[in-house]
Amino acid sequence: MSAYLDHASTTALRPEALEALVAGSARGAGNPSSLHSAGRRARVAVEESREALAAALGARPGEVVWTSGGTESDNLALQGLLRARRAADPARRRVLLAATEHHAVLDCVRWLEAHEGALVTWLPVDGTGCLDPDALEAALRHPDDVALVSLMWANNEVGTVQPVARAAELAHAAGVPLHTDAVQAVGSLPVDFAASGADLLSLSAHKFGGPVGTGALLVRRGTTLVPLVHGGGQELGVRSGTLDATGARATAAALTAALAHRPEEAARLAALRDRLLAGLLQVPGATLRGAPPGPQRLPGNAHVTFEGCEGDSLTYLLDAAGVECSTGSACQAGVPRPSHVLLAMGLSAAEAAGALRFSLGWDSTADDVDTALAAIGPAVERARRATGSRSARARRRVRPALGAGVSR
């Protein structure tokens, strides 16, 4: 039986969410925009779920916009807000963010930079991946051209928790709205939208035990967005399209379950994580990346680099031993390049190459940790031998080429 330690990419459907999905599917068809009985039942499901989600996250029901997940929420927030801000003041073209953001944010902003004339100011992070608020404050000293700030609540790779409330305070003092990608935080950390000061917050259901393909963007009252999708005018005209009533109910059920005993569950996961880290760091050349265990790190995140290894090789070797983990963001899986997060934290490409992310979730057990610890030593040893063999072969290929064409 395998040990699944990749909950940061997606986690198993919670029983409460599965029950909601089955019950919603059994009720039959019903478009929430229709006026007949089935439509009204679907509308009730959507609005009750909206109220539950809002109550769980410190928001008003009218601030919840249903989406297909984190990527759509990030794109709607960034593109919609930038366009709205530029429509009101064409000078507002600048976006402030750190290079450690998720690719759903980075790639969206780079597209805006290439196609819509956005300007990007990259904010520095320290060796743990945490934003320096002083750097943000300095970047906001002349805010006349700043459209928005985006800062993820917790990093998806190294688990570092960011100072979102402080960043929002600084942004608002300069008259600038702030978006936060809270995809990794919701369900794992105490998230209060109103208290955070953020103007927009992205979340995705499958990170806390809900269904894939459902999420939300929280939009603070008074924040204007230009919609990306035009059609039926659903969600107050911000996000058109037929609403998934069953998905909404399953999302609300999963979040309610995730938060019912969140402090106790966070402590349980942190204890498992710490035991996992203690064993991983016994491997020679292993180094913890991100914030130290504690309140500034996600409770289920263990991110370690192994000197002299390649993360992809380690992933395959561990998978063969029954341990499922990743090198970082699953959205970039299969692309052999160093983590942009680790590079932004100051690591070299060689140091970043041996990265592994182990992430625990609601159904993780001590057996999962034991399985990983039993497999990691042999996997690292084999990966280092493979890396050394490849390096030796590369050196042998280079030597003849260096002497080609030289008379003796």
- Please state, in angstroms and rounded to a whole number, the distance separating the CA atoms of residues 373 and 99: 32
Query: Residue 305: beta bridge partners?
Result: 287, 355
DSSP, collapsed to helix, strand or coil, labels residue 295 as coil
- Please state, in angstroms and rounded to a whole number, the distance separating the CA atoms of residues 209 and 16: 9
- Please state, in angstroms and rounded to a whole number, the distance separating the CA atoms of residues 75 and 299: 27
What's the token pair of residue 35?
Answer: 């006026």
212 HSE (CA, 13 A, CB side): 4
Nearest to 356 by CA among 385, 314, 388: 314
Nearest to 190 by CA among 221, 165, 156, 220: 165
Q: Do 164 and 170 touch, CB atoms closer than 8 A?
A: no
At 326, give phi and psi (nearest 5°).
-145, 170
Could you write out the DSSP letters of every residue in 198-240?
A: -SEEEEEGGGTTS-TT-EEEEE-TT-----S--SS-TGGGTS-
DSSP 175: T
DSSP, collapsed to helix, strand or coil, labels residue 15 as helix
Nearest to 313 by CA among 353, 373, 357: 353
C-alpha dist (Å) from residue 155 to 10, 96, 213, 246: 15, 17, 21, 30
Please report where in the chains the tokens 């970043």 appear, as a residue. 352
Q: Do 84 and 285 touch, CB atoms closer than 8 A?
A: no
At 38, give phi and psi (nearest 5°).
-65, -40
- Please state, in angstroms and rounded to a whole number, the distance separating the CA atoms of residues 65 and 84: 17
**From 108, 309, 325, 331, the catalytic residue:** 331
- Is 130 catalytic? The answer is no
Query: How many other CB atoms are there within 10 angstroms of residue 238's CB atom?
Result: 21
Please report where in the chains the tokens 């991983």 appear, as a residue. 280
Q: Give the catalytic positions in this structure.
A: 331
